[in-house]
Chain A
Amino acid sequence: MNIQKEILENINTRYVLLNKKNNVGYHIIDKLRKTIVMIDDPYINVDAIVNKMLELKVIIYNTIDELPNAIELPIENKNATEEFRIFIKKIFGVNGLETGSIVTALTHKQINREEKFKMEKHIEHYAFNVLYPGEGLNLYSNIESDTASIVVIKGINNLPSVDAKLFNW
């Protein structure tokens, strides 16, 4: 997702504005991480994004002290990263092309809903960055609360579809 879309879709839930010193403009802030968004792409018109945010009634903070504490924090002082094993089953379409994968975490004990959610976040991140980098993906979580598993489908709009009707009993 590009940054413009991401910011405009997450106004106030994640992205807010901070008044610059002497009120000469605004910094775009990710309030969940308490970070400043440094847009380095010269093709992106940051002023236009800020204007659009103002139009959409974004929350404006005047000082840094007013910003809430960060919720999403980096992993602190760990030498060993936590690992868990996963297995990946590839899914192929009728034309033999890979359409996605089922990624499931292997756990030695039963996991609860919270652990499942955390593991699935890792799997989601892995799918976007390692399995299918730079591709638009649709992710479906396993409905079982003790199974951390995600179905990753890429290029969902290109898949063949069949229309059907469902009766609302």
Chain B
Amino acid sequence: MIIRNSSDLVRAYFAYGPPKVAAWVDFLPEDFVIRILTNHFKIEFAVIFTNRNTGYHIYTGRSSYVEIPISNVEILLKHSHPMGTPHPSKADHDWLVLAQSIGSPQKQSVILPHRRERVSFRISTPFLT
């Protein structure tokens, strides 16, 4: 199956299940695609862009967590919160701090809480402890 666009992506995920680690696509998955996948599988997904590389990785998480690579070239564009928490968690905040401490240019990222508006967060954003 060739994944050329968002509908191919959703079809592939529904047919084969999400990949164990991450899927690579050459287009930016829209918010609604990540929301559909989160709603269907009830797990977190994170969209990562790697500087100097083409395409995007969609990392597969579980119901309460997602694993994000540690590197100064990985940009966490967005990730979903299947529980609907509209705030960054302590781990979200910690990841941003860690990324910046190793030289990542990333200043903020986006959360897609289930059934709520997208939320962007920075290091200074209050987080849930």
| A interface list, Cβ under 8 A from B | 2-3, 20-21, 27, 29-30, 33-42, 44, 46, 64, 67, 70, 72-81, 83, 121, 125-126, 128-130, 133-134
Q: Known: A33-B67, A38-B68, A67-B70. Is A126-B17 also a contact (CB below 8 A)?
A: yes
Q: Which A residues touch B36, using CB under 8 A?
A: none
Q: Find out whether the CB atom of B91 lies under 8 angstroms from the CB atom of A39.
A: yes
- Closest chain-A Cβ to B113's Cβ sits at a distance in Å of 10
Q: Which A residues touch B71, using CB under 8 A?
A: 34
Name the interface residues of B66-122: CB closer than 8 Å to any CB of A.
Answer: 66-71, 79, 81, 83, 85, 89-92, 94-95, 97-98, 101-102
Distance between Cα atoms of A20 and B21 in the complex (Å): 25
- Closest chain-A Cβ to B50's Cβ sits at a distance in Å of 10
Question: Count of B residues near A, CB < 8 Å?
Answer: 51
Q: Out of A27, A79, A126, which one reaches B3, CB within 8 Å?
A: A79
- Does B7 reach chain A (CB closer than 8 Å)? no
Q: Which B residues touch A73, using CB under 8 A?
A: 21
Q: Find out whether the CB atom of A74 lies under 8 angstroms from the CB atom of B19.
A: yes
| B interface list, Cβ under 8 A from A | 1-4, 12, 15-24, 26, 41-42, 44, 46, 53-55, 57, 59, 61-71, 79, 81, 83, 85, 89-92, 94-95, 97-98, 101-102, 128
Further contacts, 20 of them, CB under 8 A, given A67-B70, A74-B24: A20-B94, A29-B70, A33-B67, A38-B65, A38-B95, A40-B81, A42-B128, A73-B21, A74-B19, A74-B22, A75-B23, A77-B54, A78-B24, A79-B3, A79-B4, A81-B16, A125-B17, A126-B17, A130-B16, A133-B41
Q: Known: A76-B24, A133-B41. Is A2-B64 also a contact (CB below 8 A)?
A: yes
Q: Which A residues touch B90, using CB under 8 A?
A: 46
A-B contact pairs, 20 of them (CB 8 A): A27-B94, A35-B67, A38-B46, A38-B67, A38-B79, A38-B95, A40-B83, A40-B85, A41-B83, A42-B83, A67-B70, A73-B21, A74-B22, A74-B57, A74-B59, A75-B23, A76-B24, A81-B2, A81-B23, A126-B17
Question: What residue of chain B has the Cβ atom nearest to residue A121's Cβ?
Answer: B20
What is the interface of chain B mostly: helix, strand, loop, or mixed?
mixed
8 closest residue pairs by CB, A with B: A129-B17, A74-B22, A41-B64, A35-B67, A38-B91, A130-B17, A40-B89, A39-B65
- Closest chain-B Cβ to A18's Cβ sits at a distance in Å of 8
Q: Which B residues touch A34, using CB under 8 A?
A: 69-71
